[in-house]
A and B are shown apart, each in its own frame.
Chain A
Amino acid sequence: MKTQTYTLNLGPQHPSTHGVFRIILELDGETVVKATAVPGYLHRGVEKLAEARTYTQVIPYTDRMDYVASMLMNWGYVQAVEKLMGIEVPERAEYIRVIVGELSRIASHMIAVGAMGADIGALTAFTYTFRDREYILDLLEMVSGSRLTFSYFRIGGVAADFPEEFYSAAKKFLDELPGMCDEYDGLITGNEIFQTRTKHVGIITPETGINYSLSGPTLRGSGVNYDLRKVRPYSVYDRFDFDIPLGKDGDCFDRFWIRIEEMRQSKRIIEQALEQIPEGLIRAKVPKVIKPPVGDAYAEIESSKGIYGAYVVSDGSPKPYRVHFRRPSFINLGYLEKLCEGWLLADVIAIFASIDVVVGEVDC
């Protein structure tokens, strides 16, 4: 009998890859022999567009990269410009940034968790996480006025202070969050089919993870303790008490479980931040027309997907000479091709979901 391998175009499959990401699989029966990732063609040329905008006008473009956690995307960019100009951000603004940033992280993880459930067949999980995510969007709408692309950060601070009703609403949400996480645990984490599909599947060793520059839950799933909020604390993260959940096996299950744990840790951070938040200004004195001195700066934050960095070059004019974004989703996908090899077609679905990418960020 003669057998031969065949090619299968897989995707778009995951909810966040609609139309712009596929994997070309060479299959021997159901086993993957070779995988080729094809990101594109969403390419919007954010970096090129930035060169024709003023520094402030670039902020809304960063929103549209990881649009499920756009607060965090703002943060990395404004931090780079602040570094370039040597702006001291008022303390109250830093606390506000931490609070909205962590809320954004929870919202992003909810999508990751729900979408991974949906990919594996638990469609109910998707509706549950989306229902709960609405509460966060309500909170963020209170402060920024929009529900998806917030554009809330400003160079030197944030756009507006919290309204009075925010505090009680945030407290109510935080009180309910552990119950939500328990529900996901009961529905997805504890599900036998889910565990069989994800445990010991798609293993990333710590050495490979570091070598491929993976970051975020994708790297920490392999047990590598590398979270910028702890190792190189930026903003006011050094003032909070929280843990970094780490995986043991580096499999899809660990990467999934870490996201649920991180939601719980984010809750701790927000609670402490709400307690400590000082009165004061929400924006530093920044000139209307921002003209940083000639030079360059690179700043990075820990976004929900991993290390998000912004490299900004100034030539002294009101427009950036060059902007580059280090997008975690893009770099985390760099290992996907190797990771899929040798696994079954069905495993590829779980592997891809466990990396949690947003194509707006892959192909910015």
Chain B
Amino acid sequence: MADYKLPAEQLKALKSKFPGLEVLESQDVIVPLADLTPFMTEIKENPDYAMDFLTNLTGVDYQDRYEMVYNLASLTQGYTLMVKVIIEDKKKPEVSSLCPLWMGANWQEREVYDLMGIVFTGYPGHPTRILLDEYFEGHPLRKDFQWEGGRET
């Protein structure tokens, strides 16, 4: 299968602009938490990258951290890019919302909030549950989630 990942030269240019950026061997990048919005604005607005399509957005619960994973694509350039953000604060996970850039993040961030309990700052209104009932407690995709209740025995 052909590879459509963002070429190394362009990643290098991004790295010089955002020194905190970590470029992985797989051509995915890890962005410092604080740089997320400026970085995303750059790859969206700059015609060299033109990442105008936010394909996918999800969170992963690791033992020592949360990780947000963003999959972006450029309709004009044809490239894709996987961007990761590490959230070290496991007690109060927060990351800035991408809704001001892509409205496609709207429902996806709500889903991540619902199932993983990551709060998106700057989200239009506070993200509310979308798949589960508003009275449901806990976030089921967290690794430490334990379901209690069910049928009475």
- A residues adjacent to B (C-beta < 8 A): 39-41, 43, 45, 47-48, 83, 210-214, 224, 226, 231-235, 295-296, 298, 300, 307, 309, 311, 313, 321-322, 324, 326, 330-331, 333-335, 363
A334→B78 contact, CB < 8 A: no
Please pick, from B52, B53, B132, the residue contacting A40 in the complex, using a CB distance under 8 A: B132
A334→B106 contact, CB < 8 A: yes
A41→B141 contact, CB < 8 A: no
Q: Which residue of B lies closest to A364 (CB)?
A: B131
A210→B53 contact, CB < 8 A: yes
Q: Which residues of A contact B2 (CB under 8 A)?
A: 232-233
Please pick, from B71, B102, B105, B131, the residue contacting A43 in the complex, using a CB distance under 8 A: B131
Chain A facing B: main interface SS: mixed
Distance, CA A326 to CA B56, complexed state (A) = 6
Q: Which residues of A contact B115 (CB under 8 A)?
A: 47
Please pick, from A40, A83, A211, A300, the residue contacting B103 in the complex, using a CB distance under 8 A: A211
Provide a sorted-by-A list of 6 A–B residue pairs whose CB atoms are within 8 angstroms. A39-B130, A213-B55, A231-B78, A296-B69, A313-B60, A334-B106
A326 CB to closest chain B CB, in angstroms? 4
Q: Which residue of A lies closest to B142 (CB)?
A: A48
Q: Is B61 an interface residue (CB 8 A)?
A: yes
Distance, CA A99 to CA B135, complexed state (A) = 45
Contacts between the two chains (Cβ within 8 Å), count: 93
Whether A232 contacts B80 in the complex (CB less than 8 A), given A39-B130, A212-B103, A309-B71, comes out as: yes
Distance, CA A335 to CA B115, complexed state (A) = 21
Q: Is B34 an interface residue (CB 8 A)?
A: no
Q: Which residues of B contact A363 (CB under 8 A)?
A: 131
Q: Which residue of A lies closest to B111 (CB)?
A: A330
Whether A311 contacts B75 in the complex (CB less than 8 A), given A211-B103, A334-B107, comes out as: no
Q: Is B6 an interface residue (CB 8 A)?
A: no
B61→A211 contact, CB < 8 A: no
A234→B103 contact, CB < 8 A: no
A-B pairs, 6 with minimum CB distance: A213-B104, A334-B107, A324-B58, A326-B56, A43-B131, A212-B103
